[in-house]
Amino acid sequence: MSMAESLNVFGEPLQACSHDPVTGFFRDGCCNTSKLDGGSHTVCVELTQEFLEFSRSRGNDLMTPVPEYGFLGLKPGNRWCLCATRWLEAHQQGKAPRVYLQRTHQAATDIVPMEVLRGHALDVS
C-alpha cells in the first residue's frame, strides 16, 4: 500500500514533524499516512503534560519508555504525529496540544475541521 501524497493542510509539501524523537506512522519524521494507518497519525503537535496525561487516561501511555520497541517515551515540548481522532477527542475535552499546520498532513482535515486546527496553530495564523 502506498503512502498518501505528502501534502500539508494547505496543499503544500509536507514539512517534517520530528526526527528527534522520530515520529510518524512510517517513522520517517513526517505525519505521512496510508490506508494501513487506521489511526490517521497526521496531526503534528507540540506535546504538553496535560495532553500526555489525557492520552494515558485513554489507554495510550506515550510517556513510559518501551525499550524493546526503541521507544524512549515522550515529554512536554516534543513534537509528535498524533492520531487525528485522539487530537479531536482532546480538543473536545479542552486538552488538545498546539498544532504545526505546515507539518500536519492534509488527511487530518478528513477528521478535524480546518478551522479547528487553525485555532490551535503554532506556526501560522
16-74 pLDDT, tens digit each? 999 999 999 999 999 999 999 999 999 999 999 999 999 999 999 999 999 998 889 99
C-alpha grid cell, residue 88: 479531536
**Domain around 123:** 1-125
Work out how many domains the chain is built from and give that number: 1
* Secondary structure class of 61 (helix, strand, coil): coil
For the entire predicted model, the pTM comes to 0.94
Read off the pLDDT band of 125 (50, 70, 90): low
Phi-psi domain of 106 (left: phi exceeds 0; alpha: psi -120 through 50; beta: other):
alpha
From 110, 69, 28, 108, select the one nearest 121 (Cα to Cα): 108
Q: Identity (one letter) of the amino acid at 7?
A: L
State the CATH number of the domain containing residue 122: 3.30.56.110
Q: In whole angstroms, what is the distance from residue 5 CA to residue 41 CA?
A: 14
